[in-house]
Amino acid sequence: MFLHNYISKLQLDAPTPWGLFFQDSASPQMEGIEELHNNIMFYLAIILFTVTWMMISMIRNFLANKSPIAHKYMNHGTLIELIWTISPAFILILIAFPSFKLLYLMDEVMDPSLVVYAEGHQWYWSYQYPDFTNEDDEFIEFDSYIVPESDLEEGQFRMLEVDNRVIIPELTHTRIVISAADVIHSYACPSLGIKADAYPGRLNQASVYINRPGTFFGQCSEICGILHSSMPIAIQSVSIKDFLLWLREQMEG
């Protein structure tokens, strides 16, 4: 990851056609997920290679015409049975420990500096920033609808761009509180490594710490009706100064 930042200044923050790979991470959580994925893929490669090799060598060496009475001797072996029982258990432990570690690390919400409330509706997301109020005790509240294909401008993403993006300051611990107004939705953003279901009558929290500026896209991830595909999530991370400028404009406007 460190090297990667030197090689390329271009970051992949949106899905690409046939993109069977991760988007570039923008938060420590997503880095943790990638790390765990690579870790598990290492075991996967070893298991795949070993099992394939065993299968092929068995088929080659114990063909009926080559060793016609193999079944007479190849019927029991305590040692090999111990090996093929204990070693998978050991590999599972090696996978489970980093997995649990990551799970509980991600679950932990540090003392957040601000709260963003995201509410799923059929079919749009609405947001509130309850920590910042004006003189009339009102806070920022807006709806975030998809930009229809006919209104897209050059360079905007089809089915991902919204009219009002969520603005979050970078390098700030943020708590996203997620709920829904009608049916179950799910709030997800791959680059940030968050995905939490949005239930009516329940508040779920997700912790976000964005470590670089950028715009990150996600989609509703729980089938919620006919326009489930048309309620994307666009999170824009800006410097704290720009965030405050935006905040002021919202409060006054």
Partner 1 sequence: MGAIPEADPDEVLETKPFKFVTGYDARFPQQNQTKHCWQNYVDYYKCTTAKGEDFRPCKQFYHAFRSLCPKAWTDRWDGQREAGNFPVHLDK
Q: Which residues bind partner 1 (CB under 8 A)?
A: 107-115, 117, 119, 128, 130-131, 139, 141-142, 162-165, 167, 175, 177, 179, 181, 196, 201-206, 236, 238, 241-242, 245-246, 248-250, 253
User: With respect to partner 1, which residue has the nearer C-beta, 17 or 201?
Assistant: 201
Residue 34 CB, shortest distance to partner 1, in Å, is 22
Specify the length of the chain in residues. 253
| Closer to partner 1 by Cβ: residue 34 or 242 | 242
Placement of tokens 């995201």 in the chain: 118
Which residue reads 């993403």 in tokens? 157
The tokens describing 112, both together, are 């957040």
CB nearer partner 1, residue 22 or residue 132: 132
Least separation, in Å, of the C-beta of 11 and partner 1? 19
Minimum CB separation of residue 102 from partner 1 in Å reads 15
Q: How far is the CB of 40 from partner 1 (least distance, A)?
A: 23
CB of 157 to partner 1, least distance (A): 14
Number of continuous H segments (helices) and E segments (strands) in the chain:
5, 10
Report the nearest approach of partner 1 to the CB of residue 91 (Å). 29
Closest to 184 in 3D by CA, of 170, 194, 198, 203: 198
Quick one: which of 222, 247, 217, 242 has its CA closest to 232? 217
| Dihedral sign computed on CA atoms, order 212, 217, 222, 225 | positive
Which element (helix H / strand E) includes 238? strand 233-238
- Which CB sits closer to partner 1, 162 or 224? 162
| Least Å from the CB of residue 18 to partner 1 | 30
Nearer to partner 1, 32 or 112 (CB): 112
> Nearer to partner 1 by C-beta: 22 or 139?
139
Distance CA 206, CA 196 (A): 7
The beta strand positions in 112-165, using DSSP E, are: 114-121, 124-133, 139-144
Nearest to 207 by CA among 121, 141, 116: 116
Which burial class, exposed, middle or buried, applies to 158 when counting CB atoms under 10 A from its CB (0-12, 13-18, 19+)?
exposed
Q: Pick between residue 75 and residue 249 the one whose CB is nearest to partner 1.
A: 249
What is d(CA 193, CA 188) in angstroms, rounded to the nearest whole number? 8
Do 109 and 205 contact (CB within 8 A), yes or no? yes
